[in-house]
């Protein structure tokens, strides 16, 4: 008597229901997981706060009074108000490095393989991570704003405009975390992700109008600074916070003439481009 051997088909990883609702739910679960991890490692939050606070104090008291602001002169108080939007923007963009390092660490530890066995949408892993980074960015901005108020910074155009300014800053920070996500997926170690996330940020932030007016730069650097997406958010923040001196000359470049719109456009474009690239890279790595 013969028996017919049957070979069971290989089991595939379970898949989620799909659709926007499933993606949102999965993203929130991943974000919660990363926030819980953050609470359990408070030193990571503390060290993330130390650097921007040092920048506020050093730039306010070391450079304040020595840099000429068009329309204001070398007033230390005016420079502090001119400076703070740049410090805020630098802080939210520097979160790129930690975002990339966190994703690289998850990849290195094999966490991607664990998520593959769960019925969840693939892009939710990255979206949840970037949402958790956005919460940490918001916390950092709150603390930084308090420190800025201590050294003399004020928002002069009302609460709604100030909230709009911080909203643009957080949108820029969220956009840059997607750049960090792509970097984290493209390197082999968290250390490489940290280095790769910072090496391009320094020229981006310093060839801008964050710390000095573009009028003080050589002509070729002026154009780079004025069309820099980082500069657009910095100027939008100054405009909404009421931190531009009354006689400050606005450059002729379109992003400097319309900084709020320029900031929104740059941030949305960066999110659209780098989220697409990062999710595609993640799916390729997880397949």
pLDDT digit string, tens, across residues 20-79: 778 888 888 888 888 887 777 777 777 777 878 888 888 777 776 667 777 665 567 778
Rounded to whole angstroms, how far apart are CA atoms 188 and 176? 20
Domains in the chain: boundaries: 19-286
Of 228 and 30, which is predicted with more confidence?
Answer: 228
Chain centre to alpha carbon of residue 215: 27
Residue 13: what pLDDT?
44
pLDDT(150) > 80 = yes
pLDDT(18) > 90 = no
Task: Report the range of poorest mean pLDDT among 5-14, 50-59, 182-191, 254-263.
Answer: 5-14
Residue 65: what pLDDT?
63
Task: Report the range of poorest mean pLDDT among 59-68, 131-140, 154-163.
Answer: 59-68
Assess contact for 119 and 55: CB atoms under 8 A: no
Residue 11: what pLDDT?
43
DSSP state of 119: S
Rounded to whole angstroms, how far apart are CA atoms 66 and 28? 47
* Helices 76-108 and 159-186, axial angle in degrees (round to 10): 40
The three-point CA angle 132-117-125 to 5° equals 20
Assess contact for 54 and 158: CB atoms under 8 A: no
pLDDT(6) > 70 = no
Identify the three-state secondary structure at position 73: strand
Residue 132's φ and ψ, nearest 5 degrees, are: -65, -40
């Amino acid at each position: 008597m013969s028996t017919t051997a049957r070979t069971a088909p290989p089991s595939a990883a379970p898949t989620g229901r799909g659709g926007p609702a499933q993606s949102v739910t999965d993203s929130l679960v991943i974000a919660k997981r990363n926030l819980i991890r953050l609470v359990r490692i408070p030193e990571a939050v503390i060290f993330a706060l130390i650097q921007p606070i040092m920048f506020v104090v050093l730039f306010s008291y070391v450079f304040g009074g020595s840099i000429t602001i068009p329309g204001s002169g070398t007033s230390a108080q005016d420079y502090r108000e001119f400076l703070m939007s740049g410090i805020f923007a630098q802080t939210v963009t520097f979160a790129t490095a930690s975002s990339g390092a966190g994703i690289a660490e998850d990849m290195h530890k094999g966490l991607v393989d664990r998520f593959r066995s769960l019925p969840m949408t693939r892009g939710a892993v990255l979206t949840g991570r970037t949402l958790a980074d956005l919460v940490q960015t918001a916390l950092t901005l709150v603390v930084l704003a308090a420190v800025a108020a201590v050294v003399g910074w004020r928002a002069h155009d009302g609460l709604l405009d100030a909230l709009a300014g911080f909203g643009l800053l957080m949108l820029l920070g969220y956009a840059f975390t997607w750049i960090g996500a792509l970097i984290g997926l493209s390197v082999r170690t968290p250390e490489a992700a940290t280095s790769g996330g910072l090496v391009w940020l320094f020229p981006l932030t310093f060839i801008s109008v964050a710390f000095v007016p573009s009028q003080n730069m050589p002509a070729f650097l002026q154009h780079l600074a004025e069309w820099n997406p980082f500069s657009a958010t910095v100027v939008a923040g100054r405009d909404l916070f009421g931190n531009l001196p009354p006689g400050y000359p606005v450059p002729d470049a379109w992003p400097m003439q319309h900084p709020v719109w320029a900031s929104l456009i740059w941030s949305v474009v960066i999110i659209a481009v780098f989220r697409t690239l990062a999710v595609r890279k993640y799916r390729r790595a997880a397949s």
